Structure 1
Amino acid sequence: MMSKSKANEEKVKQFRWSKPMERVLLEILADEATKGNKPLSTFKPSSIARVVDTINDRFDISCELDHVENHLKTFKSNWKTIQTLRGKSGFNWDDKLKMVIAGKKEFDEYVLVHPSHEKYLNKMIDMYDEMALVVGRDMATGSFAKQLGDIDATEVDSSPIDIGDDFDELMKGSKTSLSIVPSEKRSHKRRKCFDNDDKLATLSTNIGEMASAIKSLGQNNIDPSQVHYSRLYDEVMKMDGYDEVTLGSIFDHLVENEKIGKAFMVKNANLRNVWIDKFLSKGDDHQ
């Protein structure tokens, strides 16, 4: 006869998380983190219970506390992989797209050894900011806390701060990321403790990461925009059913219209084909 603990383990493994369910989990716990309900990197039981109740009500499914806690372990493992890729030599991080960018050679060599990590390369990482709050060490900034707003909305609009290339602006961005959500309920002693310890530690980490990134760019002489355009060119030119001249015109259009180009990069093959057909149907006025 199977023991109770074994039965619980099997039950947790059999529970299937869909993408919409994962989004609800991250949205709710990101909101809980901004409210200070994640002391010592562990959520309060009431926060986990809120996830369980919401998922059960919204998806008409039997979700339990163990299911949420077990899936958080998966998110922590994924987060660790993403951060490793961000700091890997030869890779670049696009903070606007939330994407780890790798050139074709680096991509092919790495994926050959780590095929399961392909989903994190040259693709926008969905819910990155929420994951940072839920399983990372990030504190919620005031702007991000406002964006979480109504947690029952279908999607959370996350607009990261563009810190630019200038070093002074880079430093301002670091200070901005350290802002704490204002709260009259927090004691003066707690704020002072954070300012003296956590803020200095986080600032030190950010400065170290920035110095490494600047050094890496200097050593490899890599222009991140060129890496992006190279990847965009590869993605456009591999589209089936179109001649080379037509694809070349499409690439030029996407380069001239940066936002459209970024949107093209995160679409799947079917949506890319739909966009190209619509673009071509408009005629020479858009080429």
Structure 2
Amino acid sequence: MMKYVNANMRSAQGFKDSVYEGAAQKIKEKFGIEVTGEKCKNQIRHQRSVWIHIQELKRKSGVSWDETKKMIVMGQEEYASHIQAFFKDAAYLNITIANYVELEIVCGHGHAIGEWAKSRNSQTPLGTQQMHVGDDEPSQFTDVGADGSMPIE
């Protein structure tokens, strides 16, 4: 899905069905697993709900965000109290959140730069590992062609 975001194949409304079908085809080619575009769509929907929950946790009082470790940090007392009431949140507190950057780009409203981005004239990724997400910037994503077509590498 990172490649589809990078190729500007996501609109403000999300990915088109043809993108999910393309992702299903890539999964089949790479891993030999039969999945449908609908299953890919449902997985992204689930990941988006995880992303939203992480963002809600980051906004809670008494927590901080470690940008380097991609970790929501909560004090020991607050953590114990919070986990008692919300035990499933243990997967997101005081540990590095796996694939956070990818979640931010695919499920959030960021756009890829760095290792996930390509220059406008190149098909090869750039060499840095930075990402820029600005809340005050308009979305830079565009829709796929009117006929729903999309290139699949």
- Give the alignment's TM-score, normalised by structure 2: 0.75
The aligned residue for residue 102 of structure 1 is: 74
Count of matched residue pairs: 133
Q: Which residue number in structure 2 is paired with residue 129 of structure 1?
A: 101
Question: In the alignment, which of 123, 129, 149 is matched to residue 159 of structure 1?
Answer: 129
Give the 3 Å change call, closer, same or farther, for CA 37–98 of structure 1 in structure 2: same
What is the CA-CA distance between 1:45 and the residue it aligns to?
A: 2.7
Indicate if the aligned counterparts of 2:62 and 2:78 stay in contact, CA closer than 8 A.
yes
SS across alignment from 2:137: helix
SS of match in other structure, 2:77: helix
1:41 corresponds to which of 13, 16, 21: 13
What is the CA–CA distance in structure 2 between the aligned matches of 1:60 and 1:158, rounded to whole Å?
31
> Which structure is higher in strand share?
2
Distance in 1 between residues matched to 2:55 and 2:62, nearest whole Å? 14
8 Å CA contact retained: 2:27, 2:35 = yes
Asked whether 1:90 is paired with 2:62, we answer yes
What does 1:104-123 correspond to in 2, within 5 Å? Answer: 104-123=76-95
The letter for the 2-side match of 1:63 is: V
CA deviation after TM superposition for structure 1 residue 74, in Å: 0.9
Task: Give the drift of 1:158.
Answer: 8.1
Instruction: Find the aligned partners of 1:31 and 1:129 in 2 and give their Cα distance.
Output: 14
Query: CA separation in 2, counterparts of 1:41 and 1:200?
Result: 14
SS in 1 for 2:33: coil
- Write the distance in 1 (CA, Å) between the matches of 2:124 and 2:57: 32
Q: Sequence identity of aligned pairs in percent?
A: 26
> Contact 1:95–1:160 (CA<8 Å) still a contact in 2?
no
136-145 vs 76-85, which moves further: 136-145
Distance 1:46 1:150, change over 3 A: farther
Structure 1 counterpart SS, 2:15: coil
- Maintained 8 Å contact 1:30/1:130: yes
**CA shift in 2, pair 1:150/1:142, >3 Å:** closer
- Structure 1 residue 160: deviation in Å? 4.1
Runs of 5+ consecutive residues of structure 1 not aligned to the other structure: 1-28, 152-156, 162-175, 179-197, 202-287
Corresponding residue for residue 57 of structure 1:
29
Unaligned segments of structure 2, at least 5 residues: 140-153
After TM superposition, give the deviation of residue 50 of structure 1 in Å.
2.1
The question of 1:81 aligning with 2:53 is answered yes
After superposition, what is the alpha-carbon deviation per residue over 1:62-93, rounded to whole angstroms, capped at 9, x for unaligned? Answer: 20111111111211110111001111100110
Say whether 1:199 aligns with 2:137: yes
Q: Which is helix-richer, 1 or 2?
A: 1
Aligned-partner Cα distance in 1 for 2:62–2:128: 27
Tell me how far apart the structure 2 counterparts of residues 42 and 71 of structure 1 sit (CA, whole Å): 13
Name which one, 1 or 2, has greater alpha-carbon Rg.
1
CA contact (8 A) 2:63 2:72 kept: yes
